[in-house]
Amino acid sequence: MTEYKKTIGIEVHCELKTNTKMFSTSLNGYQTIANKNICAIDLGYPGTLPIVNKYAVELALKAAILLNCKINRTMHFDRKNYFYPDLPKGYQITQARTPIGVNGYVEIEIDGKTKKIGIHDIHIEEDTAKSIHKEDKSYLDFNRAGVPLIEIVTEPDMKSSSEAMAYLEKLKEILYYADISDCKMEEGSMRCDVNVSISKTEKLGVRTETKNIGSISSVGLAINEEAKRQEEVLENGGSIKEETRRYSELENKTILMRVKETGNDYRYFPEADIPYLTLTEEYIEKVKNDIPIMPNERRKIYKKHEISEINIEKIIQDKTISDYLLNFDDINLKIASNLLLGDIKAYLNKENKKLSDTKLTIEKFKTVVNKLDKGEIPNKVFKDILANLLETEKTFDEIVKDNNIETISDTKALLEIVNNILNNNEPSIIEYKNGHDRILKFLMGQIMKETKGSANPSLVNKILLEEISKR
C-alpha cells in the first residue's frame, strides 16, 4: 500500500517592534489596561486618515531582504473588506497586489542537509482588535488594533512536521536577531497558521488550515495529528473539506472551527488614502547595511574558534551572550564563551541579573580571558574573583591585589614544589619517559593540588618539563 505524503505550507504573522502603530501615533507595546493605547484612527472613526509608519516599512523591508525576497520597488496598500466587530473600519489595510517582498526562501538544515523553503510573499498589514468572550458577554480591546504586522507565507514546500518546526525555528531566529520582532509565540507576537494536506500522488490533496498554535512544538504535534485525521477520513471513504481548524494541546487533536465557504470574497481594492511608496536603491542599500551579523555568520566565526557544536547553539540561543561576544575580535572566543555560558551565566541566574546590570566592562573581560588564555592565571582564581569582577569597578589587577590573591609565579618556590612532587612519584617519571604522556597531566594535578590551584599553570608546565628532563 502506498503511503500518504504530507504537504505543509505555513502563514506566520509577526508583530513588528515599533514604538507606534502602523497608521497612527498610538503606542505599540505591552499594556495591561484595555483600550489605553488607542486613538480615532485605530477605532476607525469616519474622516480619519492613516499615516504610514516609516520604521515599520523599514523593518518589513529588512525581513524581506533577510528572507531573500525580490523587493517591490513601488508598493501600495489594499483594503481587505470584511465585517467583524474587531475591525470597525469594515476593512483591514494590507498588501494584496504589491507585497513588499516576493519569491524568497529560507534555508533549513534537515538530516544534515540544507533545504530551501520557498517564501511566496511577505506583506505588511495592521492587526485587528482583540475580542474577549466571557460568560455571555463579549468585550473588545483595541490596544492591538493597528499594530504593525508582517505576514510571511511559504510555498507548500514542507514535507514533515520536523521540516515545519525547523522552518519556524529558523524564521524566528532571523526575525529576532535582526530586531524585527520579539517573536514570542506564547504572548502572540508571533502567530502561525498551518496548512496541511496529504496525498498518495504528485497532485496535492485538499488542505485544511489550523490556526494560532501556541508553540513550535505544538505545531509539530498539530501537523501529525491533522495528517492522521485526514488519513482516517480518506481511508473510510470520506473526503477532506477546506476548513479552518484549531489545535487543542489538552486533547492533542485539531478541532473544526468553520468550513471555508467557497471563494472568500474580500473585494480587495487599492487603499486610496495612502499614496504609493517608492523604495529607492539607496534606501534599500542603507537598510541592507544596517543588518547586524546574523546567526549563521556567527556560527561560522564560533566554529573557527573551535567552540563545540553544543556550545555554539547555546550561544545562539542567548542573544545577550552572542551580542556581547561581538565586542571582541582578538581574544580566545572559546575561553570567553566558556566563562559566559558557565560561571558567569550561573552567577547571573542566581542573582537574577542581566549581563548589562553588571560592571564587567569589555576591557576587564578581555584582560581576564587573555590571562586565562596565556595560562597566567588558574581557573580557580577566576572563580574566586568572579563576584568582584561583576560587582565592582575595580580592574583585574586591583582585585587580585586587594584580595591578597596570589598566583604563585615565583620560580624558586615552584621549583621546590615541583621537585618534591617528582621525588614522591619516581615510578610516574619512568612511565612518562616510556611514552605515557598522560602522566604529565597527573603530575600537573598533584602540583596544582599542592599549591591549592594558585600556581601559574604555564609556568608549572615549563618547570615540570625542565625538571623531568634533568632526571
Helices and strands per DSSP (H, E), number in the chain:
16, 16
Q: Which is nearer to ligand ADP, 47 or 263 (CB)?
A: 263
Residues 233, 243 contacting (CB under 8 angstroms): no
Nearer to ligand ADP, 156 or 453 (CB): 156
Distance of closest approach, residue 194 Cβ to ligand ADP, in angstroms: 8
Hey, what's the cell of 88?
Answer: 470597525
Q: Residue 5 — φ and ψ, nearest 5°?
A: -105, 140
Least distance CB 276 / ligand ADP (angstroms): 24
Between 155 and 376, CB nearer to ligand ADP: 155
Q: Minimum distance from CB of 152 to ligand ADP (Å)?
A: 9
Among residues 197 and 337, whose Cβ is nearest to ligand ADP?
Answer: 197
- Please report how close the Cβ of residue 6 comes to ligand ADP at its closest, in angstroms: 8
| 101-110: strand order across its sheet | 70-71, 101-110, 113-126, 148-154, 5-15, 190-199, 208-211, 243-248, 253-259
Q: Are strands 208-211 and 190-199 parallel, antiparallel or unpaired?
A: antiparallel
For residues 411-421, b (16+ Cβ closer than 10 Å) or e, as one string?
eeebeebbeeb
For the chain, give the longest Cα–Cα distance: 97
Nearer to ligand ADP, 82 or 276 (CB): 82
Least distance in angstroms from the C-beta of 197 to ligand ADP: 3
> What does the alpha-carbon distance between residue 447 and residue 457 come to, in Å, rounded to a whole number?
10
Let me know: does 77 contact 107? Beta carbons within 8 Å. no
Burial grade of 456 (CB within 10 A; 0-12, 13-18, 19 or more): buried
Distance CA 245, CA 255 (A): 5
SS3 content of the chain, % helix, strand, coil (to 5): 40, 20, 40
From CA 51, how far away is CA 70, in angstroms rounded? Answer: 25
Q: Which residue is nearest to ligand ADP (CB)?
A: 9
Cβ nearer to ligand ADP, comparing 204 with 430: 204
Smallest distance from the beta carbon of 60 to ligand ADP, in angstroms?
18
Distance in Å, CB of 227 to ligand ADP, minimum: 10
Q: In terms of CB distance, is 53 or 197 closer to ligand ADP?
A: 197
Complex with ligand ADP: residue 158 or 279, whichever CB lies closer: 158
Given strand 91-94, what is the order of strands in its sheet? 91-94, 78-81, 269-270
Q: How far is the CB of 50 from ligand ADP (least distance, A)?
A: 24
Specify the residue, 94 or 322, whose C-beta has the smaller distance to ligand ADP.
94
Please choose, from the candidates 60, 73, 66, the residue with its C-alpha nearest in 3D space to the C-alpha of residue 14. Answer: 60
Q: How far is the CB of 185 from ligand ADP (least distance, A)?
A: 18
Q: Closest distance between ligand ADP and the C-beta of residue 180, in Å?
A: 20
Binding site for ligand ADP (CB under 6 A): 7-11, 153-156, 195-197, 204, 207
Q: 155 or 179, CB closer to ligand ADP?
A: 155
In whole angstroms, the minimum distance from the beta carbon of 279 to ligand ADP comes to 24
Cα(347)–Cα(340) distance, rounded to whole angstroms?
10
Give the strand pairing for 148-154 and 70-71: unpaired
Taking the least distance from each CB to ligand ADP, the nearer of 153 and 219 is 153
Q: How far is CA 424 from the centre of its chain?
A: 54
Residue 5 or 462 having the CB closest to ligand ADP: 5
Closest CA to 152 of 79, 110, 197, 103: 103
Q: Which amino acid is at 274?
A: I
- Provide the sign of the torsion angle of the four alpha carbons 265, 93, 189, 320, taken in this order: positive
CB of 153 to ligand ADP, least distance (A): 5
Distance in angstroms (rounded) separating the CA atoms of residues 42 and 22: 9
